[in-house]
Amino acid sequence: MQGHDSGAPMRWWARRRTWLVGIATLSLALAACGKTSSGSSSSAPSGTTASSNSSSPTAGTSCGTVPSLPIHDSSGVIASLGSTYTTAYNGNADAILPSAFAHFKPKSTGNFTIGVALSQPGNPYNAALLSALSRQLGTVKGVSHVTVLTSSPTQPTVQIQQVNQLIQQGVSVIVTEPIVPPAMVPLAAKAKAAGIPLVAVLNGIPTPDAISVAANSVADGLNMAAGVAKLTGGKGTVIGVHGIPTTGNDKQAFVGFNAVFAKCPNIKLDSSIVGEFSPPLAKQATLTWLSSHPQPVAGAVQAAVMGSGIIQAFEQTGRPQPSLGNIQASAGDLAYWNAHRSTYKSVATTIPPDDIARATAYAVSQILSGHGPKVNEIVSPGALITNSNLSQWVVPGAGPTSQAPVSGPSGSWMPDHFLAPLFNG
């Protein structure tokens, strides 16, 4: 049975949770929030529909396909770049605006200082991301120093103070993962007035004055639901496990789930379970639901990081494991899947810390070279993991209780060739 470290799953989910439940201290497994990149040829590209079979039981119907949802792009850039980008931005919740830094030119040609304001490395994912960002930003041409400030994920006011401090210090670029994105809007304007680009990682800041390198949670939901619809043959009961229903990433994931399952008349989605983005709470909530629902469960989808809790609940009751759409899978989730390939079906997404850091460093490098971003949000759903490419993602030595982040093939999320057209030449 899978175990759980309540402090381990990825942190950016916690950011949104903290924001929308009153900045309360929550015992989450913390993680990132959702936005297709074309992956490497050795792994399934993000934004495609998951399937473990060459022929789907739902062939000939729209069940198991990914619908096209509206993209709110006032810049016109995304449509002009073609299908790879309209797929990547499919249903993206935030407006896509022309970037205020499209024609930015740095004040100098070198000796740059990058200011980083992130959360304390309190779990494996946080630690990996902070280390990767510090390393990757330090390799950007012309960067001489990377200043790192950290704060508790339950202290947004401290993070705001730190960003203000970096503005006052006159750093060249600020990189932050905003705990409360709307609170960063005036800070982004302040940084812009000081000639300092502010780059938001994972959680987008809704303003043209910031550059966001983020995830598309709606597209994650679309991809996971389409995968589960195929794996279940387009029929049966599917449980949808909420994180916190009022949070943005939860709402966005369920927009994706609902859009796909609406095309599956033989699938019944029961989304009454709430796991609060915590595997132990998701396990208990699923156990409670199972105790009053003896009927077979064909599939399950969850808003993020709660896959292990769902697996544990079915194991504890001796019920067959449902086909799982697992947003932001951990190393332990993939280890369980790999060990039970003959009986367990899944499709998953993840955003590796190294790829987040690489994409962020690419954006900073382009900005400091005078090649500003065309739009304010650079987004992609998580890299897609299926039975066919699972072996590329399994973390060597990780057991089913591991909450370590997943790496996978380099460039699986937002490869450089995806990023390049989003910046001016």
Domain pair 10-69+217-350 / 77-214+353-378+417-422, same fold: yes
Can you list the pairs that 18-25 forms with residues at least 24 positions away whose Cβ atoms lie under 8 Å?
18/153, 18/154, 18/156, 18/179, 18/180, 19/156, 19/179, 19/180, 19/181, 19/247, 20/244, 20/246, 20/247, 20/248, 21/244, 21/246, 21/247, 23/154, 23/156, 23/179, 23/180, 24/154, 25/154
Length of the chain counted residue by residue:
425
- Rounded CA-CA distance 178/200 in Å is 7
Instruction: Report yes or no: 50 and 230 within 8 Å, Cβ to Cβ.
Output: yes
**Comparison of pLDDT for 10 and 395, the residue scoring more:** 395
Predicted pLDDT at 153? 79
Of 52-56, 137-141, 200-204, 414-418, the least confident = 52-56
Element counts in the chain: helices (H) and strands (E): 13, 14
pLDDT single digits (tens) 330-353: 999 999 999 999 999 999 999 999
Tell me the average pLDDT of the chain: 87
Residue 271: closest CA among 257, 256, 292, 259: 257
Predicted pLDDT at 417? 97
pLDDT category, 49, cuts 50, 70, 90? Answer: very low
Q: Give Cβ neighbours of residue 249 (< 8 Å, ≥ 6 apart).
A: 13, 16, 33, 34, 217, 243, 303, 304
Predicted pLDDT at 124? 82
Residue 242 forms beta bridges with which residues?
A: 274
Predicted pLDDT at 249? 84
Burial class (CB in 10 A: 0-12, 13-18, 19+), 332: buried
pLDDT at 237 over 60: yes
pLDDT category, 6, cuts 50, 70, 90? Answer: very low
pLDDT category, 122, cuts 50, 70, 90? Answer: confident
Segments making up each domain of the chain, as ranges:
10-69+217-350, 77-214+353-378+417-422
**CATH class of segment(s) 77-214+353-378+417-422:** alpha beta
pLDDT at 13 over 60: no
pLDDT at 59 over 50: no
Predicted pLDDT at 112? 98
Predicted pLDDT at 125? 83
Q: Work out the average pLDDT over 16-36.
A: 36
The CATH code for residues 10-69+217-350 is: 3.40.50.2300
